[in-house]
Amino acid sequence: MSTPEFDFVTPIERRGTASLKWQRYEEQDILPMWVADMDFAAPPAVQKALRQAVERGVFGYGEIPSGLIDTFVAWCAEQYHWAIEAEWLVWLPGVVPGLHLAIEAELAPEAGLAVPQPVYPPIRQLGRLRARPLVSVPSEATDWTPYLTDATQALVLCHPHNPSGQVATRADLEQLAQLALERDLLVISDEIWADLLLDPQQRHLPFAALNPDAAARSITLMAPSKTFNIAGLSCAVAIIPDPERRVRFRRQMRGMMPDMNYLGLLAAQAAWQEGAAWLAALKQQLNANLDQLEHWLQDYPEIGFTRPQATFVAWLDLRQLGLNEQDFLEGGVALSLGEAFGTDGYLRLNFGCPSAQLDAALQRMARVIQTRRGR
């Protein structure tokens, strides 16, 4: 699907371009459908801002321009109906460092975390890497209470949820907010996928937008990276309404965080300022790709699947087929391993690519499945 303005069809050669997704299997005939970036060019406005910067040719230290702050504040108002203050923002080179900083800034050494399972691997790894007790909560659970221990002092949300692509409802979030209030918990909400709710009528509801208490106990992490396919430009933002938490967070950053990537700042501003029409067109393409995937899945009822409400990843339950990552790699498709997300027997398929590439990957996967069935 393409519009005169935006091209989501023409393949872009990414081999030999220092791409994490493509370099790993560059020498082999393997389609990379794993790590979560898309094989689409960034919005034209982003490309233009970057082209102008490259033509100037000066890449000195960057500073947050007021235009970037204004444009993000406006984005939150327009996209999520969330009124935020400019001073709540702390800019970061990535969401993952923000998760670690939030924990170190706010939690005592023995304080524990609760995280959903399955979940994006760096969230699962927070317990081990920050040397803190971690409890896992089944990602479909709406009441986290039975899973918490006396040590639990923070909830880490992945909202919308990667890898399932499911979106917590207002009622789910309110239940979590009530629990956080009763137990005085910090809520670290990773909302990197906020803009990729696939129903164009559905609006993301930030946890912190629920009520003033939720805001005060929250650290929300967002970024333009998934939305506009600019993950390589290292730009993210923490939204910390409580001034004391903000001071502790900034203190934690001292000497530990690199300066913001200059090109990332320019790209983020252009994306939030001028990227809304591109994003709407992207969602159409992602929905078409999901339709294509669902159509393909009709031939494979053994594969468990719930259509994601958000993201560009599909979480496939392959336990009944007994096929694993290696089987599909040998068949020429690289998928993300379910185990890394905390659940064996699943694989995650990234469908953020031109539909011809998705089709090629699905054909290869079909051959792997048919070979297994024929045995």
Ligand X SMILES: Cc1ncc(COP(=O)(O)O)c(C=O)c1O
Q: Which residues here bind ligand X, judged by CB under 6 A?
A: 36, 94-96, 120, 158, 162, 190, 192, 223, 225, 231, 236
Nearer to ligand X, 95 or 293 (CB): 95
Nearer to ligand X, 75 or 300 (CB): 75
Q: How far is the CB of 231 from ligand X (least distance, A)?
A: 5
Q: How far is the CB of 119 from ligand X (least distance, A)?
A: 8
Nearer to ligand X, 89 or 96 (CB): 96
Q: ∠ CA(78), CA(90), CA(128), 5° rounding?
A: 110
Nearer to ligand X, 20 or 74 (CB): 20
Q: How far is the CB of 366 from ligand X (least distance, A)?
A: 27
Q: How far is the CB of 168 from ligand X (least distance, A)?
A: 13
Nearer to ligand X, 163 or 241 (CB): 163
Q: How far is the CB of 99 from ligand X (least distance, A)?
A: 8
Q: How far is the CB of 93 from ligand X (least distance, A)?
A: 8
Let me know how long the chain is: 375
Nearer to ligand X, 158 or 266 (CB): 158
Nearer to ligand X, 96 or 210 (CB): 96
**Measured at CB, which residue is nearest to ligand X?**
94
Q: How far is the C-alpha of 332 from the C-alpha of 321, rounded, in Å?
A: 18
Token couple for 359: 């089709």
Q: How far is the CB of 242 from ligand X (least distance, A)?
A: 22
Which residue has tokens 């102008």? Answer: 52
- Peptide bond before residue 118 is cis, with ω within 30 degrees of 0: yes
